[in-house]
Amino acid sequence: MKESEPIYVAKPSLPDFDHFVSGLRPIWESSQLSNGHYQTELEQRLGDFLRFQNVTVVNNGTSALLLALKSLCMQGEVITTPFTFAATTHAIRWCGLTPVFADINEADCNISIEAIEQSITKNTCAILAVHCFGYPCAINRISSIAARHDLRVVYDASHCFGVEDETGSIFRHGDVSTTSFHPTKVFNTMEGGAIFSSSSELADKLRLLRNFGIKDQHSILYEGINCKLSECQSLFGILQLSQINSLISRRQQFYTLYSRLLGAVPGITLVRSTDSSYSVNGSYFPIRIRPWFPCGREELIERLEAHNVYPRRYFYPILSNATPYSDMPSASVSALPIANAVASEVLCLPLHAELSVDQVEYVCSLIIEAAGHG
């Protein structure tokens, strides 16, 4: 394998360039750059693909979280995971709510049910759980806790495009689920995101919220904001959607190959889903570098980077250790032993549809070599 070509943790797949250029013509001819029909068409096509119609597309996954939380009109504490991307926790604060961190499971890195239950107070209004790495949370158990305590449930499903069980998309769960269409994600619109609502009324409200809350020329119903997806990006998404099944199956192929090559390497633990009823979309390939691996995570990263392989420490630092949150009582290291341990060991290996089998084998060979020559 040619060593000179960098292998990044992620690489976006692009639609056919000529199709994109010819799709731009109606945008040019109409001068409708935003608030146009491609945004609506993308929502409809996503709804058809996902077999779930209450879709509101927005300009990124962070906006999706902000609008989702805002749409539920809540006050108080939101129980959430510290093991996530910064956007999850920031969105809670930006909506004037208080994040309360709960620890995670060792196996799949999702929020722990027991920790959720221990964190509930009279001020709790919601649970914001992340299906981390595309692995589903304990959805049924979270629903029953929420029903018992009258809490709203928001899922940050940013890693979950294409994850489904035999009855449908994972996006249909919770009061609201959100996702990201960033270039590093399974499905991308350059920048973008979407919100999936439990009712068509909520989806309609979210469409108003994304456009300043303006209903028509005479009425402004909500204190909304501008989170619209541009027409060019919507077009990009429509074209990307036509190839998504083959992109997901390439990711799944590489996920399986990584699992086979690294599954038995001493000192490497694969982070896996514990719920086999959902498909794996191959959005990430997270491993943990355990203390008995011959070198530490940082040295392994150095070795890989020296060979032009660029994995990422998703998620490190965890949000409970980040400056805006580290003073909160729920952020103490002793309250979050598993999240802290996992964050110090986790490493996401390159996984995207543009890889080749040779590249995956090459990355694994470097790790196997490090395992033998510590």
Q: Which residues are at the interface with ligand T4K (CB under 6 A)?
A: 8-12, 60-62, 84-85, 87-88, 130, 156, 158, 180, 182-184, 193, 310, 312, 314
Distance of alpha carbon 114 from alpha carbon 105, whole angstroms: 10
Shortest Cβ 66–ligand T4K spacing (Å): 10
Nearer to ligand T4K, 62 or 197 (CB): 62
Nearer to ligand T4K, 156 or 267 (CB): 156
Nearer to ligand T4K, 105 or 371 (CB): 105
Nearer to ligand T4K, 84 or 320 (CB): 84
CB atoms within 10 A of CB 187: 25
Shortest Cβ 61–ligand T4K spacing (Å): 3
Shortest Cβ 65–ligand T4K spacing (Å): 6
Distance of alpha carbon 71 from alpha carbon 44, whole angstroms: 21
Shortest Cβ 320–ligand T4K spacing (Å): 15
**Which two structure tokens, joined as six digits, stand for 266?**
């001493």
Shortest Cβ 31–ligand T4K spacing (Å): 27
Closest residue to ligand T4K, judged by C-beta, is 61
Q: Which residue has the tokens 């998309």?
A: 169
Nearer to ligand T4K, 86 or 368 (CB): 86
Strand, helix or coil at 219?
Answer: strand
Q: Assess contact for 219 and 196: CB atoms under 8 A.
A: no
**How far is CA 33 from each of CA 40, 213, 229, 234, 318, rounded to the nearest angstrom?**
13, 20, 10, 10, 38
Shortest Cβ 354–ligand T4K spacing (Å): 9
Nearer to ligand T4K, 228 or 312 (CB): 312
Contacts of 10 (CB under 8 A, 6+ apart): 183, 184, 350, 351, 352
Backbone angles phi, psi at 240, to 5 degrees: -65, -35
Contacts of 80 (CB under 8 A, 6+ apart): 88, 89, 92, 99, 100, 101, 102, 111, 127, 128, 129, 130
Contacts of 6 (CB under 8 A, 6+ apart): 308, 309, 310
Strand, helix or coil at 129?
Answer: strand
**Which two structure tokens, joined as six digits, stand for 98?**
């208080």
Nearer to ligand T4K, 12 or 26 (CB): 12
Shortest Cβ 366–ligand T4K spacing (Å): 17
Shortest Cβ 172–ligand T4K spacing (Å): 18
Nearer to ligand T4K, 57 or 130 (CB): 130
